[in-house]
Structure 1
């Protein structure tokens, strides 16, 4: 059932794109506001995450075996679509690239800040520093918007995929307090530890194996954040990178080609794991 849901979602994304996914989070904002008066921090966060997850688990049991599993499949598809990352990733990259080609570093930086994984604490002072941060953000956003969600969806079902997205959503809300943010960040780091290392290994398999493995090996048992791990391992696995002797007039073209290569590496990784899941269906 999970595999059919993943294939259905992939087809839907190819037809309509991420921008057409109906992902409404107003209910979460309302719920967050209503539980804000609860003094116990852990209880407050538990309610925000466990209540929606419990609803998914209950509906999953109710729909089991109804009409040959068709309602359950549609439910799985709906939860998976909702659990995917927010925003139109490709549009942000296109707008960033356009601003960069115009030489508008400020506008390019503003577009780059819309990407998940972009280091908001650092202010790039030149195009090279900005590109390095964007490349890192591209790898992480490909991970958090799709791979991490599908990993937990396959491993523990739609409730786990939703739980991951709720941790991410709550962590990005302006109403979230500093104390809540600390716990949410710990939860996200825990949920991303294993899938991030799996994707980093996949980068090596579908990219430059020797360089990719060398980059990921030191971090396999460490607590390196997913964004840093994927940024380093993804860059190492790229078949096309910026040459060391690249001149200023050629930098923009080579950097754009590198970002395109990064997105293709992510796409190949997705195809690789779809093939693996398809093979597992035969056993």
Structure 2
């Protein structure tokens, strides 16, 4: 059933508008705001993690436990699908990058700066740094929106996928430093394994030798961030040229995107073989 859900989530992502209807974060964000107004939660951030992450996971576990014995377990399939779709990242990455790509292709640096600030919340000191920031943004968003979620779903099921998304939202939207820092630390732990699996995937579908040089000294490092590791390996695997404005810069973005598409195909092929033989 896991592989069927992974196929269905691709259909939902590419050919329907269900994702926008499923990903309603309002109630959870209001709960986050409420917890951050309570001194007990601010002083003991683990209590915030319990309320914001563990309680929703407990509710989901109860629902799955109740539905599992019914109709040979098929009633849990729509629950798995809804949870996995909800756990994907927010927004449309390709649509968000569109205005920047158009400006960059025209070699309109000023417009590229403006749309990067408006659409991507990115700023840089010069054109080279701006393109590198956009490359990093694109690879990181693709990883945290899709690869990390399906990795944890395939490995441990919907509870792990939902936990990853809730921790990501705590890290992104948390206003209290103690609460946000605890979420960031837990998310770093969640990212350690899948980002390295993705890095190895980049080596398989990209430039293996360049990835080996980029990854060798950081493979087991706990300190390097997932975002920095995935963009370093992504640039090496796609053989990204030096940043430059114009069509060549857009081509480097396309190269990174195609690298991630090939990695996704590899992952789905592995999941298919796993489902077939196990």
Using the size of structure 1 for normalisation, the TM-score is 0.89
The residue that corresponds to 1:264 in the other structure is 258
Residue 64 in 1 paired to residue 68 in 2?
Answer: yes
Inter-partner Cα distance in structure 2 for 1:111 and 1:278:
40
Task: Quote the RMSD (CA, aligned, Å).
Answer: 1.9
Residue 33 of structure 1 deviates from its aligned partner by 3.3
**Partner secondary structure for residue 74 of structure 2:** helix
Deviations 1:203-237 (A, max 9, x none): 11011111112211211110210110011100000
What pairs up with 1:1-283 in 2 under 5 angstroms?
A: 1-16=1-16, 20=20, 22-36=22-36, 37=38, 39=40, 40-100=44-104, 101=106, 102-103=108-109, 104-111=111-118, 113-114=120-121, 123-173=123-173, 175-223=174-222, 224-239=224-239, 241-242=240-241, 251-283=245-277
Check whether the contact 2:135–2:231 (CA below 8 A) recurs between aligned residues: yes
- Residues paired across the two proteins, number: 269
In 2: Cα distance, 1:269 partner to 1:210 partner: 17
Do the aligned partners of residues 99 and 232 (structure 1) sit closer, same or farther apart at CA in structure 2, a change above 3 Å counting?
same
Instruction: Check conservation: 2:96, 2:120, Cα contact below 8 A.
Output: no
Change (3 A) 1:230 1:163: same
- The 3-state SS of whatever aligns with 2:276 is coil
Counterparts of 1:221 and 1:28 in 2: how far apart (Å)? 34
Q: Give 5+ residue unaligned stretches, structure 1.
A: 115-119
| Alignment check: 8 A CA contact 1:209 1:237 kept | yes
CA drift of 1:127 comes to 1.5
CA distance in 2, matches of 1:25, 1:193: 26
- Relative to structure 1, the CA distance from residue 226 to residue 185 in structure 2 (aligned partners, 3 Å threshold; closer, same or farther) is same
State the Cα distance separating 1:21 from its structure 2 match.
Answer: 5.2
* Pair 19,88 (structure 1): closer, same or farther in 2 beyond 3 Å: farther
Tell me the distance in 2 between the aligned counterparts of 1:34 and 1:234. Answer: 39
* Structure 1 residue 96: Cα displacement: 1.5
Deviation at 1:20, TM superposition (A): 4.0
* Deviation readout 1:158-211 (Å, 9 max, x if unpaired): 0110000001111111x5201111111101111001100110110110111111
Partners in 2 of 1:9 and 1:257 — Cα distance?
A: 28
Distance, in Å, in 2 between the alignment partners of 1:32 and 1:141 is 23
Task: For residue 70 of structure 1, report the CA deviation from its aligned partner.
Answer: 2.8
